[in-house]
Amino acid sequence: MITIKSVHDIECMKAAGKIVEDTLLLLERSVRIGITTGELNAIAEDYIRSQGAYPTCLNYNGFPKAICISVNEVVVHGIPGPRKIKDGDIVSCDVCATLNGFVGDAARTFCVGNVAEETRRLVQVTKECFFEGIRYARPGYRVCDISKAIQEYAESHGYGVVRELTGHGVGRQLHEDPEVPNFYSPRARQRLQAGMTIAVEPMITQGKKEVWQLDDGWTITTRDGKPAAHYENSIAITDGKPILLTCSEEY
């Protein structure tokens, strides 16, 4: 069931979203060669809690850390730990925070040091996929119009679109209806309506689209070992352009 948010609900989601955005900006300033993903997790967790929010990922379906950190061939749901960031790594950070009963969810991929030009391009195009998709995030379109725009843009650059994971509704819960695939799916026929809040999150691979899950039950990596990037914002559908709840950038 898709829930429609009130104006007040959306104000609450903006407040949660601001904490998520600020956490990602802090992570961007903190990520450097030699830091461990566990240290980045601690920086994020401390900041989220300092703002009176809760790191939604912690214990979510048993996830053991406050945020997800996914390096290079890890697509999403990487578990922070002793892995040290190396020169040339791309580091995807996926942050969720709950404030006053509402969730914000966003992800960015950061380039550290001397990243290969073709991988920088992957990171840039993954962000552009999000903005291509949300051109259709308005009443009058369907969820699958967002999906199709993301897929076409990614594939036109020769990249792979992960099928196993999707965006989603977001609100009082981290994962609500509808599913928001990054590829055309006839199941995603729901019409967009003002007051819907969704997380749009392209997960794009430099090589083939196939992924698998490691034995830890969480980490998703590309099968071919090539890099993948992730870019996500929570957004609110309005009668005009969507509101970006986790991003202050003009677009």
Q: How many residues does the chain have?
A: 251
User: 77 touches which of Co ion, ligand MF3, none (CB within 5 to 8 A by kind)?
Assistant: ligand MF3
Does residue 103 belong to the site contacting Co ion (CB under 5 A)?
no
User: 71 touches which of ligand MF3, Co ion, none (CB within 5 to 8 A by kind)?
Assistant: none
Does residue 94 belong to the site contacting ligand MF3 (CB under 6 A)?
yes
Which of residues 10, 53, 57, 146 is near ligand MF3 by CB under 6 A? 57
Nearest approach in angstroms of CB 88 to ligand MF3 is 25
Count CB atoms within 10 A of the CB of residue 52. 11
Distance CA 162, CA 205 (A): 7
Does residue 145 belong to the site contacting ligand MF3 (CB under 6 A)?
no
Does residue 164 belong to the site contacting ligand MF3 (CB under 6 A)?
no
Which of 11-46 are b and which e, b meaning 16 or more Cβ less than 10 Å from the residue's Cβ?
ebbbbbbbbbbbbbebbeeebeeebebbbbbebbbe
Does residue 199 belong to the site contacting ligand MF3 (CB under 6 A)?
yes
Tokens matching residue 236: 């609110």
Does residue 201 belong to the site contacting ligand MF3 (CB under 6 A)?
yes
Distance CA 167, CA 74 (A): 17
Which residues, in sequence order, are CB contacts of 143 under 8 Å at separation 6+? 178, 179, 180, 181, 188, 189, 190, 192, 198
Does residue 68 belong to the site contacting ligand MF3 (CB under 6 A)?
yes
Backbone angles phi, psi at 66, to 5 degrees: -80, -35
The 3-state DSSP class for residue 135 equals helix
Query: If you search the block for the tokens 């990922």, which residue do you land on?
Result: 57
User: Residue 165: in which H helix or E strand, if any?
Assistant: none
Contact range with Co ion by CB under 5 A, out of 32-40, 115-123, 158-166, 192-200: 192-200
Say which amino acid occupies 55: P
Does residue 251 belong to the site contacting ligand MF3 (CB under 6 A)?
no
Does residue 176 belong to the site contacting Co ion (CB under 5 A)?
no
Residue 45 or 201: the one with the smaller Cβ distance to Co ion is: 201
**Residue nearest ligand MF3, Cβ-based:** 57
Contact range with ligand MF3 by CB under 6 A, out of 16-24, 25-33, 45-53, 55-63: 55-63
Nearest approach in angstroms of CB 114 to ligand MF3 is 28
Binding site for Co ion (CB under 5 A): 105, 199, 201
